[in-house]
Amino acid sequence: MSCFNLRISTALVLGFFSFGILLSGQQTSGNIQGTIYDQSGATLPGAAVVARNISTGVENSTVSTSSGEYRIQNLLAGKYSVVVDAGGFTKSAVNDIAVDINQTVTVNVTLQIGKSSTTVEVNTSAAAIDTTTSQIQTTFEAKQATDLPSASSGSGVINLALLSAGVTTPGGAGYGTGPSVGGQRPTNNNFTIEGVDNNVLSVTGPAVTVPNDAVSEFSALQNQFSPDFGHSSGGQFNQVVKSGTNAFHGALYEYFQNRNLNAADNLNYVEGNPLHPRFDENRFGGNFGGPIKRDKLFFFVDYEYNPIGGTSSTYYYAPTAAGYTTLAGLPGINRNNLAQFQKYLGTATTAANPATLPNQASILVAPGPGSNESIGTGVFAVTGAPGALTIPVGEISSSLPAYTNNELGVGSVDYNISDKDSIRGRFILNRTGNIDTNGFPSVFFCG
């Protein structure tokens, strides 16, 4: 007997930025700010500042204030260049500025007197510390999400947070899924995908999983985060899905482990199971992304298939030799069902701890019309009817094959209408299929 159980989880995530309202509370982006100076050290108002995404070519601009300050908000995570231009001064370009989600990078620029047709290139990285906030955050980029060991687990990037200060495994304390942050229980955590709620409603934990190879950036906020994260007091775990760029790019990948790569478990040997019980896991997939219209419209897709084949150990109860003799002597017994027990007569021995079995290692049976046949097919049934017989039973262990097929999919579209307006669309698919190989004869009691 086999059946196919299917569970599907989908999430459609749409983000709208700067349509008259700044949705900065979603914390899906970063910021660049700074002050413009002239060569004497005085602040320079009215300077044009342009931040350009190196991968997509998308530009965001602003003008320095009367005090020479500027701030460009809601920038997608990635590498940027900042170009500053003012009349009577040479242009200055600062390259390779790394912008992370929920972080503000400070880039101060000093302009020299000269022709504006001349550009001074500054190839330097901005300070890695965000001095505008006291929050404690650890950020993991795409390469870390795919290269670090959690990539082989198939459970997403959440475990990367264990590399952060103050983050540990929960040790079985409390409910919920995920690590313990600052000594708090997992139920206090909050999970989001690009600022959109991704929590299981019944108990805290990620509702859907983004494939590691489709994650652009993952951040774990441990403490001192802003009021935007008012959902929970524990860790704040946010993921950003990859976007397309001006260049077509793709990848094929596989992570696998099987019984031949794993060491034998001595506990399996003690239990009489093979030294190398089957466990074969493959997680393979691919992704592709690029421009639909350069500097404007981009796409990215990722699909991953994860078949797992293994074994599961279980047990059930069958009559001992004494119990079989008692059953065989009952009038009107179903002989076809009774025959199911014959091959287990030498195996079904009374359990070492009878207290763990129903009715102290026995089943009460009331044969004939009127019996309570709520379990099995009539061979025996639990009942408290007067005149019931006691049928001794024993425990039989069994190793059965177990098959699970997981599918993960991601679709991403980014449309940059202007330097003020943009639309982002995300589709995430999680699908799991389990093949039931239980196969217990209906006359058995499952443990």
240 in a domain, yes or no?
no
Q: What is the DSSP string of 247-277?
A: S-EEEEEEEEE-TTTSPPPHHHHHTT--SS-
Q: Mark whether 98 and 59 lie in a shared domain.
A: yes
Name 258's bridge partners: none
Dihedral-angle region of residue 156 (phi above 0 means left; psi in -120 to 50 means alpha; beta otherwise): left
User: Of the candidates 105, 92, 83, 107, which has an alpha carbon nearest to the alpha carbon of residue 38?
Assistant: 92
Question: What CATH code is carried by the domain that includes residue 111?
Answer: 2.60.40.10
Q: What is the pTM of this model?
A: 0.71
- Based on its alpha-carbon atoms, the radius of gyration of the chain, rounded to whole angstroms, reads 32
Q: Which of 123, 158, 177 is the last residue of a domain?
A: 123
> Do 399 and 274 belong together in one domain?
yes
Q: Are residues 343 and 399 in the same domain?
A: yes
Nearest to 412 by CA among 209, 240, 246, 206: 240
Domain total of the chain: 3
What pLDDT score was predicted for residue 244? 92
Residue range of the domain that includes 186: 133-224
Residue 232 within a domain: no
Does residue 387 share a domain with residue 283? yes
Domain boundary among 101, 123, 145: 123
Please give the Cα distance from 440 to 376 (Å, whole number).
Answer: 11
Task: Decide if 346 is inside a domain.
Answer: yes
Say whether both 152 and 272 belong to one domain. no
Q: Are residues 277 and 412 in the same domain?
A: yes
- What is the predicted pLDDT for the residue at 215? 92
Same domain, 114 and 153: no
> Tens place of pLDDT for every residue, the chain, 447 residues?
333 344 444 444 444 443 333 444 446 788 999 999 998 889 999 999 999 999 999 999 999 999 999 999 988 888 999 999 988 888 889 998 988 888 889 999 999 887 766 667 776 655 556 666 777 788 888 888 888 876 556 678 888 888 888 888 877 666 777 888 888 888 888 888 988 888 888 887 888 999 989 999 998 888 777 777 767 888 888 899 999 999 999 999 998 888 777 776 677 666 666 567 778 888 899 999 999 999 999 999 999 999 988 877 777 777 778 778 887 877 777 777 777 777 777 776 655 444 454 444 444 444 444 333 333 333 344 344 455 566 777 777 777 788 889 999 999 999 988 877 888 899 999 998 887 776 555 555 444
Residue 163 shares a structural domain with residue 274: no
The pLDDT of residue 268 = 66
Answer for the pair 298, 414: CB distance below 8 angstroms, yes or no. Answer: yes
**Does one domain contain both 387 and 254?**
yes
Whether residue 142 sits in one domain with residue 199: yes
The rounded distance, in Å, linking the Cα atoms of 70 and 64 is: 5
Q: What per-residue confidence (pLDDT) applies to 45? A: 92
Position 129: which residue type?
I
Give me the phi and psi of 53, to 5 degrees please: -70, 120
Residue 250's pLDDT is 94
In whole angstroms, what is the distance from residue 331 CA to residue 291 CA? 79
User: For residue 173, what pLDDT is reported?
Assistant: 63
Is 229 part of any domain? no
Same domain, 212 and 361: no
The answer on 117 and 61 residing in a single domain is yes
Q: What is the pLDDT of residue 418?
A: 84
